[in-house]
Structure 1
């Protein structure tokens, strides 16, 4: 059931947090045929070193952000750190968006060939998801798989898949991983599953793809913590974004898949300073309030697009969470501004 996707239907988004983008050489055989959007972190002063001969590549900087959306919007939305990627999402005009962190490289198969994560993401997005009834053999649409005995025939057509959450090897995605010093993830599970309806998930932007036409406006995080300029809190932003997009998918009847494809993540993980900042519990305490809010959220039936869902969600965030902490009120403002910009850039004249 895998749908063939044309190359001009795909954008690759990469947030440039460092000057040297030499890692793109390892991705060349997999992504050079697509349009690549590179967004430079506004706080990065040095110029970018990009390997030559990528035929379709666009680079955006702080000056472009200020010219396109204005300094006030830029101040509110804070496209910095790994959240720089959201600006790439805003600019993308293609249906499918694949986002890869700059510290990731392709995994290799037994013959040393890079594994094509773009193809796997597209397979996830173009085959149905099954959020309404769990299939105990995971993705029934994967090659060699099927629905298990007892799976309702009326639900076997599935629903549209809006988001594909890939995983990675090496740096584990644990809380305060300094407590597990030296721990590395070397276990690849060759499986894809649909996250059940009504269940939240800790989304990560390290290796993710989505159908922009279905859910694009929901892929944004308005929650920015105080002190973000010193130590970035992309994890908290990812988690907020993940809960937003899951509520929207559940409301609109879309699915989210998690699992394959994997990438290899480099580096040594978070520094001790970053971990200590995380353990101040600022972000954790906010999320402890936010999780039950999202778990019980019900959007009005009048919200029939992702844009409308985020606008309604922002109202609820302001009304129900804004009193608990000013960070939530600011998040509501950012979500509304994001939708305004999205509409201004994507509404057909």
Structure 2
């Protein structure tokens, strides 16, 4: 069983944290030129964007964001969070999201990796979250189910989320990166796995793809650290978002895959300088993980919007009194659901 995904069903979303995208866009031209692109400029970026010609794209800037968000102060799209605005205004079924500090990687044979094509493959083939296959993704080429795998589970379930990996700069937290500044990820593992049901995973929004119509509302800008900066080490937002989407997928019986595709990630940021900003988030994780591990959603929650609403209320009730950041996150999640429904009810993408 597989799902045919057409090019015109896909938006590629790029959050622009730097002004000159010329090299980035040209490196990705062979993969991106077939698709419609949504580029969201970080609202704090003052310089004009430099984008080469030859792409089918829409660019969203601060006035566009202000017009859509209106008076809400709970949802902030600055820094890496600008990508979420692209998810919001897209009108396509599927989204592939790529950060502007990533370039196409090469596999173990030196061939250029088509990350877009691999993400599409991950989403187009079933996931197997209810019983682990020791040969990894049984729907990959040259792989099958192993002996003892229940035949009743071999049809799998819909894969709604694909989390790719990256070479060079690994996604360490600031303490680890500060202790091992020279460590790089050079291992290209040619495998895809389904994350088991009830297992959480530290998702990073660097290189992901998902079914926007099914789980889009669960990818949200919510948890903001005090004094959060512009570098990935300083943000917990996509970690929070990833745990939220995994809980939603588990509840709705959907699958999450990780592994291929790889991208090449360039260095960015000063880990030592980020330590002070990120330490609060490191401590918060000791409360966040047990919460998401224990949260259970009611049977009546049948859509991603329903699920986010229930998770937000649980955050407010169980975590809100422990730290004001949690209370703000719950408010942002509820505002996000309202915004998602409001923007989704319009007939076209909102523009100024």
| Interval containing the TM-score (normalised by the shorter chain) | over 0.9
Contact 1:83/1:234, CA 8 A, preserved across alignment: no
Contact 2:119/2:261, CA 8 A, preserved across alignment: yes
In the aligned structure 2, how far is the partner of 1:47 from the partner of 1:348? 29
Contact 1:171/1:269, CA 8 A, preserved across alignment: no
In the aligned structure 2, how far is the partner of 1:221 from the partner of 1:230? 14
Instruction: Report the equivalent of 1:239.
Output: 239
1:51 is the counterpart of 2:58: no
Contact 2:228/2:235, CA 8 A, preserved across alignment: no
Contact 2:95/2:212, CA 8 A, preserved across alignment: yes
1:93 is the counterpart of 2:91: yes
1:28 is the counterpart of 2:29: yes
In the aligned structure 2, how far is the partner of 1:231 from the partner of 1:169? 18
1:37 is the counterpart of 2:38: yes
Contact 2:101/2:265, CA 8 A, preserved across alignment: yes
Q: 1:270 to 1:147 in 2, by over 3 A?
A: farther
Of 143, 146, 154 in structure 1, the residue corresponding to residue 144 of structure 2 is 146
Instruction: Report the equivalent of 1:325.
Output: 323
Instruction: Report the equivalent of 1:308.
Output: 306
Contact 2:227/2:277, CA 8 A, preserved across alignment: no
Instruction: Report the equivalent of 2:185.
Output: 185
Q: 1:167 to 1:270 in 2, by over 3 A?
A: farther
In the aligned structure 2, how far is the partner of 1:260 from the partner of 1:230? 27
Contact 2:234/2:277, CA 8 A, preserved across alignment: no
Shift of 1:96: 0.9
Shift of 1:251: 0.4
Contact 2:312/2:334, CA 8 A, preserved across alignment: yes
Q: Secondary structure at the match of 2:236?
A: helix
In the aligned structure 2, how far is the partner of 1:231 from the partner of 1:7? 32
Contact 2:228/2:277, CA 8 A, preserved across alignment: no
Of 155, 158, 161 in structure 1, the residue corresponding to residue 159 of structure 2 is 161
In the aligned structure 1, how far is the partner of 2:272 from the partner of 2:8? 42
Shift of 1:112: 6.2
Contact 1:39/1:85, CA 8 A, preserved across alignment: yes
Contact 1:193/1:257, CA 8 A, preserved across alignment: yes
Q: Secondary structure at the match of 2:147?
A: coil
Shift of 1:229: 5.3
In the aligned structure 2, how far is the partner of 1:37 from the partner of 1:99? 9
Contact 1:168/1:262, CA 8 A, preserved across alignment: yes
Listed one character per residue, the Cα deviations across residues 3-59 of structure 1 (whole Å, up to 9, x for unaligned) are 3321110000000001110111000010111010000001101110111121x1000
Instruction: Report the equivalent of 1:248.
Output: 248
In the aligned structure 1, how far is the partner of 2:324 from the partner of 2:276? 23
**RMSD (Å), alpha carbons:** 1.7
Of 125, 132, 135 in structure 2, the residue corresponding to residue 134 of structure 1 is 132
Q: Secondary structure at the match of 1:77?
A: coil
Q: 1:110 to 1:183 in 2, by over 3 A?
A: closer
In the aligned structure 2, how far is the partner of 1:111 from the partner of 1:250? 36
In the aligned structure 2, how far is the partner of 1:248 from the partner of 1:325? 24
Q: 1:144 to 1:113 in 2, by over 3 A?
A: closer
Q: Secondary structure at the match of 2:118?
A: helix
Of 98, 105, 108 in structure 2, the residue corresponding to residue 107 of structure 1 is 105
| Residue ranges of structure 2 left out of the alignment (5+ in a row) | 348-352
Shift of 1:267: 2.0
Listed one character per residue, the Cα deviations across residues 84-136 of structure 1 (whole Å, up to 9, x for unaligned) are 10010101111110000101110135786532111100110111100000001
Contact 2:99/2:207, CA 8 A, preserved across alignment: yes
Listed one character per residue, the Cα deviations across residues 145-180 of structure 1 (whole Å, up to 9, x for unaligned) are 000000011011111111000000000112321100
Q: 1:266 to 1:232 in 2, by over 3 A?
A: closer
In the aligned structure 2, how far is the partner of 1:111 from the partner of 1:135? 26
In the aligned structure 2, how far is the partner of 1:337 from the partner of 1:241? 15
Q: 1:295 to 1:110 in 2, by over 3 A?
A: closer
In the aligned structure 1, how far is the partner of 2:231 from the partner of 2:139? 42
| Residue ranges of structure 1 left out of the alignment (5+ in a row) | none
Of 157, 171, 179 in structure 1, the residue corresponding to residue 169 of structure 2 is 171
Q: 1:233 to 1:315 in 2, by over 3 A?
A: farther
In the aligned structure 2, how far is the partner of 1:172 from the partner of 1:311? 33
Shift of 1:285: 1.5
Q: How many residues align?
A: 344
